[in-house]
Amino acid sequence: MPYTLQAYLDNNATTLPAPEAVDAMQPYLREVYGNPSSAHTFGGRAQHAVAKAREQVAALLGCTGVEVLFTSCGTEGDNAAIVAALDALPSRKHIITTRVEHPAVLSPLRHLATRGYRVTELNVDRQGGIDLEELRREISGDTALVSVMWANNETGVIFPVHEVGEIAKQNGAMFHVDAVQSPGKVKLDLAKEAAIDFLAISAHKFHGVKGAGALFVRKGTRFRPLIHGGEQERGRRGGTENVPGIVAMGVAAELVLKDFDAAVTRVAALRDRLEAGLLAKCDHVVVNGDRDHRLCNTLNVGFEFIEGESILLMLDTLGIAVSSGSACSSGSLEPSHVLRAMSVPFTAVHGSIRFSLGRYSTDKDVDYVLEKVPPVIKRLREISPFGRQAPNEKAEAERRREKIESGRRFFGKRPEQHRV
Ligand code: PLP
């Protein structure tokens, strides 16, 4: 089936690499392919490029170059931070996180819960916010690590990381922040956020390329590597650096800083227009997440009484790329753990769609979505056997599974989906 991308509104999943970043990496793919660890001049050129990118990323984070450790992705940075934090405080056996973290944090922590650690997952309220009082109640002298994301990838809700960090420090715990969704959307100034010990970012989320990320490790923090090997990254991560990807990330970081305020204002205006348009043109729509503490680019809406997966498939045929709040994993339709933690009603959680804009989103994208989405919603409501009645959860799950299978037969078998 021919496919033409008309509107890419899935920037929280990944972003278009900036042309400047792609251009900058070319010489390191074609000509300057030396190993940065080699003693010769040719390797030194690659090393020089890595050093330059380190300063560019440090500028983005508001830290110093020695505090930047290059990784392969956000997931690696999160895992490395967790391992290092626990190693720094070996006698403490308690970890605090939230119920709405990305699997890059939740999954290693749930694994550690089977290896002798006690893991507390803080609740969120209906708006997706955490309660600092719950954190104060749970934290103790046994808490080794507090790991809280800066902003949620599904709803865009921003957490009060500054306050969380203060509480962690008052109790002598390490503090890790998953900031994978933050660059280009939130100003990061780690010189001012003294309580943050570790912070992970990922290049492909801010117009760099896949396969490169960075972990901020505050100077003076004890650090045991996740990946043992050679002496790369000052002995903190074994493995030859992804020089082209790192170069591209440096340039992407520079681009973020160049026009930060203007880009945030422009993207927020587009997102707000999209939100207002959908609320005006569609019935029974709810916005998921705190609209006052939300990333400028993210809009998560629940179209009640219909299924996100059906919406997603229909929008896909129209060339609109978005994400749904329920994804196929292990052959079953799992509603988003984030929206469930927020107690979004069953009727809306299944019909949730995330629109995430980016630096290259345009008015044309928003116009196209506002033209195409309302008729899709109307049509799906008409054919929904449940009308506006809340369906029986079990029967509905069965019916949805059947529907997804028929969707798969139509679109061809795709690998299992999960939320990013
Ligand atoms: N953390 C958050 C909040 C994310 O949104 C993602 C990716 O979706 C990750 C971590 C993982 O990043 P990566 O895909 O670079 O491993």
Find the largest Cα–Cα distance for the chain.
Answer: 71
Catalytic site includes residue 328: yes
Shared domain for 222 and 265, answered yes or no, is no
State mean pLDDT over 376-392. 75
Which of 205, 215, 242 gets mutated to test ligand 1 (max ligand atoms within 8 A of its CB)?
A: 205
CB-CB contact of 325 with 350 (8 Å): yes
419 band by pLDDT with thresholds 50, 70 and 90: confident
Phi, psi (degrees; rounded to nearest 5) at 231: -95, 15
Inform me whether the pLDDT recorded for 389 exceeds 60: no
381 within some domain: yes
CB-CB contact of 174 with 89 (8 Å): yes
Structure-token match 């196929």, residue found? 328
Which of 71, 72, 75, 159 gets mutated to test ligand 1 (max ligand atoms within 8 A of its CB)?
A: 75
Q: Please tell me the distance between residue 381's alpha carbon and the centre of ligand 1 in angstroms.
A: 33
Last residue of a domain, one of 230, 258, 286: 258
State mean pLDDT over 80-91. 98
417 within some domain: no
pLDDT in tens, 236-260: 999 999 999 999 999 999 999 999 9
CA distance 246 to 210: 10
* Residue 78 DSSP class: H
CA gyration radius, the chain: 22
CB-CB contact of 296 with 391 (8 Å): no
Shared domain for 224 and 295, answered yes or no, is no
Looking at the 3D structure of the chain, how many domains does it have? 2
Shared domain for 236 and 360, answered yes or no, is no
2 within some domain: no
Q: Is residue 161 classed exposed, middle or buried when 0-12, 13-18 and 19+ CB atoms within 10 A define those classes?
A: buried
330 band by pLDDT with thresholds 50, 70 and 90: very low
Of 133 and 307, the structure prediction assigns the larger pLDDT to 133
Look up residue 127 and give its two tokens: 């708006």
Last residue of a domain, one of 217, 241, 258: 258
Phi, psi (degrees; rounded to nearest 5) at 98: -120, 165
Which of 177, 202, 418 gets mutated to test ligand 1 (max ligand atoms within 8 A of its CB)?
A: 202
Shared domain for 309 and 385, answered yes or no, is yes
Q: What is the CATH number of the domain that holds 311?
A: 3.90.1150.10
CB-CB contact of 282 with 303 (8 Å): yes
Shared domain for 245 and 266, answered yes or no, is no
Instruction: Say which residues have a Cβ less than 8 Å from residue 357's Cβ, sequence separation at least 6.
Output: 9, 11, 267, 270, 271, 274, 297, 298, 299, 365
CB-CB contact of 179 with 201 (8 Å): yes
For atom 5 of ligand 1, which residue has the closest CA?
A: 153
Q: Please tell me the distance between residue 45's alpha carbon and the centre of ligand 1 in angstroms.
A: 31
Shared domain for 94 and 181, answered yes or no, is yes
State mean pLDDT over 222-227. 96
336 within some domain: yes
- Its domain, for residue 216, covers 19-258
Residues with CB under 6 A from ligand 1: 73-75, 78, 102, 104, 149, 153, 178, 180-181, 202, 213, 420
CB atoms near residue 392 (< 10 Å): 12
One-letter amino acid for residue 186 of the chain = V
pLDDT in tens, 131-167: 999 999 999 999 999 999 999 999 999 999 999 999 9
Inform me whether the pLDDT recorded for 293 exceeds 90: yes
CB atoms near residue 30 (< 10 Å): 9
Instruction: Say which residues have a Cβ less than 8 Å from residue 128's Cβ, sequence separation at least 6.
Output: 100, 152, 155, 157, 288, 289, 290, 338, 342
Q: Counting atoms of ligand 1 from 1, which one is nearest the CA of 13?
A: 8
Strand 285-287 versus strand 298-303 pairing type: antiparallel
Q: Counting atoms of ligand 1 from 1, which one is nearest the CA of 205?
A: 15
Shared domain for 174 and 39, answered yes or no, is yes
* Residue 210 DSSP class: T
Shared domain for 74 and 181, answered yes or no, is yes
Shared domain for 226 and 319, answered yes or no, is no
Q: Please tell me the distance between residue 376's alpha carbon and the centre of ligand 1 in angstroms.
A: 30
Shared domain for 221 and 289, answered yes or no, is no
CA distance 111 to 104: 12
Shared domain for 212 and 316, answered yes or no, is no
Of 415 and 132, the structure prediction assigns the larger pLDDT to 132
Q: Counting atoms of ligand 1 from 1, which one is nearest the CA of 419?
A: 8
**Angle at Cα 196 formed by Cα 265 and Cα 241, nearest 5°?**
85
307 band by pLDDT with thresholds 50, 70 and 90: confident
CB atoms near residue 118 (< 10 Å): 12
93 within some domain: yes
CB-CB contact of 361 with 270 (8 Å): yes
Shared domain for 103 and 230, answered yes or no, is yes
418 within some domain: no
Q: What is the CATH number of the domain that holds 32?
A: 3.40.640.10
For atom 13 of ligand 1, which residue has the closest CA?
A: 74
pLDDT in tens, 88-126: 999 999 999 999 999 999 999 999 999 999 999 999 999
Mean pLDDT rounded to a whole number for the chain: 93
For atom 12 of ligand 1, which residue has the closest CA?
A: 74
289 within some domain: yes
Inform me whether the pLDDT recorded for 361 exceeds 60: yes
CB-CB contact of 351 with 302 (8 Å): yes
Q: Counting atoms of ligand 1 from 1, which one is nearest the CA of 153?
A: 5
Measured over the CA atoms of residue 395, residue 397, residue 398 and residue 402, the dihedral's sign is positive
Strand 94-98 versus strand 143-147 pairing type: parallel
420 within some domain: no
Last residue of a domain, one of 258, 281, 303: 258
Q: Please tell me the distance between residue 10's alpha carbon and the centre of ligand 1 in angstroms.
A: 13
Structure-token match 């708006």, residue found? 127
